[in-house]
A and B are shown apart, each in its own frame.
Chain A
Amino acid sequence: MTWMEFLDSVLATRWSETSRYWMTEFYTTVRNDRRRAQRGACYDFFMRVGLFVTCLVDLMRPSIGFAALKLLEDAGCEVVVPATQTCCGQPGWNSGDRKSARELAEKLIAEFDDCPYVVVPSGSCAGMIRTHFPEVFAGDSAMLAKAERLGARTYELTTFLTRVAHRPKVSAAFDGTVTYHDSCSGLRELGVKAQPRQLLAKVAGLRLVEMQECETCCGFGGTFSIKYGDISSEMAERKCAHIAASGAQAVVLGDLGCMLNIEGRLRKRGDATTRVLHVAEVLAGES
């Protein structure tokens, strides 16, 4: 370990505000002298990240929220979790209720106003903020500008870790074979494809096998899953058949909706052993 790396690790631990302030000042000064090319990164050394845990993680799988928190802190970020956060408004937006979506979007924009980065452990909610918030405010230039500013600094978790965070660290281990399900919004709205695989490759002992049709929708689709339960279940069944055929011990994915849908169908078809894991849990070593 070089002394620079040592300094990195010291700074990455959570110190009191005052000592951290002085360490940052010192670090910045040194880096300005020694590594001019990285000057930009220096000022942003403690990336201040707002974590939007999403309503489904909050209620259904709190461990995923803590896994995301750990990954961000391990990557040297200062994480804030606004206590008043609830829902991004996607149920309203996808059901054609612009007013409901708008109200919740306004609330979320205000809550994360002072966060230079917003990270979401869900492609679908991150896609809502990045892609659809501007559409929600079409015609309202003041809110539109705010929505676009928020969208530009909002990232799906694995994208943030691979493309934005300065020092992503994956020190987890996983003994077994997994397959990855590409959730629709993450894949097609945000281009999340290589990012989770790149991170999973760093997990010690983990072997990734691709299943057939890993990009095909699992059938969740939000309210679709309770409006058209039988079609939704049939789609989930096809997904489960592909998972079974891959021979993996676990299916890893990045969205809670798909997770509940796939796990619910897997257990119903009598598969009690194949695990359904969020990518954050695997990367944080909490699986």
Chain B
Amino acid sequence: MQVQSMHFKPRSATALANETLQSNLQKFNSTGFTALRARAVADFGPELFEKLRGEGAAIRDRALANLDAWIERFEAEATRRGATVLFAETREEACELLLDICRRHGVKKAIKSKSMLSEEAGVNEALEAAGVTPVETDLGEYILQLAGEPPSHIIAPALHKNKDEVADLFAARHLAPRKTDIPMMTREAREVLRAHFLSADLGLSGGNFLIAESGSGVIVTNEGNGRMVTTLPRVHVCLTGIEKVIPTLEDFSTLLRLLTRSATGQPISNYVSLFTGPREAPDRDGPEHMFFILVDAGRTSLVGGDMQEMLRCIRCGACMNHCPVYRAVGGHSYGWVYPGPMGAVLTPSYLGLEKALDLPHAATLCGACSVACPVKIPLPDLLRRLREKQVDLGLRPGKERLGIRAWSWVARRPRLYALATAIGAVFLRVLGGGDGLIGRLPFGSEWTRQRFFPAPRSWRTFRALYAARRR
């Protein structure tokens, strides 16, 4: 996927000006996942859910503390059950391993269920270049593949599109009469996809979890496409990040409770698929060959550092659902695979700080994400740490650095500060005029473009008034 994360400002400006997107986002914000999650948490019991979040975080921490050992255990167990476990250090290597499998098994068509890592690695482009036809089978991803657009949400990838846009798209690409009834449109997509399911040579899935004690991969889906992708074709490849490994099935049951409630407010998803090795003697279905491609792509660089908590992430999307910035600018503004607060941490961590200078700053640090996070990732703290790294590496604009330094320099000198604020109060009040509203703020035009800046209410500062009162 093309990296656009350095263009957050222009992209978010476009998003704010896009009326269709804004109305789609508004619908999502008022009736979307946030409300569903709130109801699910209330049904589960808020206190119990809090306890569960603590358990979830502990499970992920336990896995990450000995990540190498758990990965080895997973590899041993999966291999023992007939699967092949491959490791890729980079996104390119992941594509090469996948293409190698395609070549060896004569794959002409690959069906895909949702995998964010395949977006990271640009798998579709790589497959097409090698003469393999990739077909997305998750409805949202399928719509985006037809439209040639990247996902804007990790759970609801086509969130930025509305029914009419999809209706136009289907009419143009399916060469069928335009339909506007959602069940009818879904049926049409199912009919088109069914032929692909039956003719594909390879199924490519992501993996929500990897269970070390049984060597199983897990996907959590709602549409049933994931189960067909993992069982119908001759070859199944599960492409996922190395950090997804968890120790036991018991751990998985805890995390599953958290994942579906946090993502879509469901007590459990429509499908939970565990795949453990390829088809064996008495089995009547399942793939003949099964591969796990476990990708690092920057993940180990976070282990043991001050960003490690981010690796707890179970990809539920709750942070973006609750993020007021995401809710205003949508997912494409963030410019890479992962939008919202998780993306603001992952994109600079995986691609390099200089590739996403705006992302850690494009947050009010309001904390709504970390309160919603099922594994208690302290996202605002991580964003703040990234800001500090930017400063340490000299990546912030000189004007901003100077402003902060100057503020602190003056604020450490109370008499100078008193003088400066005394002048400031008068200056701002004069600017504010009769109604006390400043329409153009010097050094603060960003503030006053769509807002007034209310002027001070008094000619004198609190400090001056208080001193006068004491005298």
Q: Which residues of A contact B (CB under 8 A)?
A: 53, 55, 57-63, 65-66, 81, 83-87, 89, 91-98, 100-101, 103-104, 107, 135, 184-185, 188-189, 215-217, 219-238, 260-261, 263-265, 267-268
Contact = CB atoms under 8 A, between A and B. Distances in A.
Contact of B12 (A101, A217, A231): A231
Interface of B: 9, 12-13, 16, 324-325, 328-329, 361-368, 370-371, 381, 384, 386-392, 396, 400-401, 404-405, 407-408, 411-412, 414, 417, 421, 424-425, 428, 437, 444-454, 456-458, 460-463, 465-467
A97 B391 contact: yes
B368 A226 contact: no
Contact of B453 (A81, A184, A264): A264
B450 A229 contact: yes
Contacts of B329: 231
Nearest to B389: A96
A234 B364 contact: no
Contact of B412 (A57, A103, A189, A235): A103
Contacts of A65: 462, 466
A221 B365 contact: yes
Contact of B404 (A83, A97, A261): A97
B16 A234 contact: yes
Contacts of B388: 96-98
A122 B389 CA distance: 28
Interface of A: prevailing SS: helix
B404 A104 contact: no
Given A58-B461, A221-B363, 11 more contacts: A59-B425, A62-B462, A84-B414, A97-B404, A104-B408, A219-B324, A221-B365, A229-B451, A230-B446, A231-B328, A238-B324
Contacts of B408: 87, 89, 91-92, 97, 100-101, 103-104
A135 B425 CA distance: 33
A57 B9 contact: no
A66 B462 contact: yes
Q: Which of B386, B396, B452 has the most CB of A within 10 A?
A: B452
A30 B313 CA distance: 60
Given A184-B367, A216-B324, A94 B384 contact: yes
Contacts, number: 200
A267 to B, nearest CB: 5
B318 to A, nearest CB: 15
Pairs of residues from A and B, 10 with the lowest C-beta to C-beta distance, nearest first? A221-B364, A229-B446, A96-B387, A100-B408, A233-B450, A217-B366, A62-B462, A264-B451, A184-B366, A188-B367
Contacts of A215: 368
A217 B453 CA distance: 18
B407 A96 contact: no
A267 B437 contact: yes
Contacts of A85: 414
B434 to A, nearest CB: 13
A274 to B, nearest CB: 13
B460 A234 contact: no
A228 B387 contact: no
Nearest to A263: B454
Nearest to B454: A263
28 contacts: A53-B462, A59-B421, A59-B424, A59-B456, A61-B456, A62-B461, A65-B466, A66-B465, A83-B463, A97-B388, A97-B404, A101-B408, A103-B408, A104-B412, A184-B364, A216-B324, A223-B361, A229-B449, A230-B446, A231-B16, A231-B328, A232-B447, A233-B451, A235-B328, A263-B454, A265-B450, A265-B451, A268-B450
Contacts of A265: 450-452
Contacts of B450: 229-230, 233-234, 237, 265, 268
B427 to A, nearest CB: 11
Contact of B391 (A53, A95, A216): A95
Contacts of B457: 60-63
Nearest to B401: A97
Contacts of A81: 466
A65 B457 CA distance: 12
A87 B9 contact: no
A181 to B, nearest CB: 12
Given A100-B404, A234-B328, A267 B452 contact: yes
Given A58-B421, A62-B461, A89-B408, A189 B367 contact: yes
B391 A224 contact: no
B66 to A, nearest CB: 25
A233 B449 contact: yes
B458 A63 contact: yes
A66 B447 CA distance: 28
Contact of B363 (A101, A216, A224): A224
B279 to A, nearest CB: 50
A92 to B, nearest CB: 5
B439 to A, nearest CB: 9
A229 B454 CA distance: 15
Nearest to B391: A96
B400 A235 contact: no
Contacts of A267: 437, 452, 454
A237 B384 CA distance: 26
B364 A217 contact: yes
Contact of B405 (A59, A100, A216, A221): A100
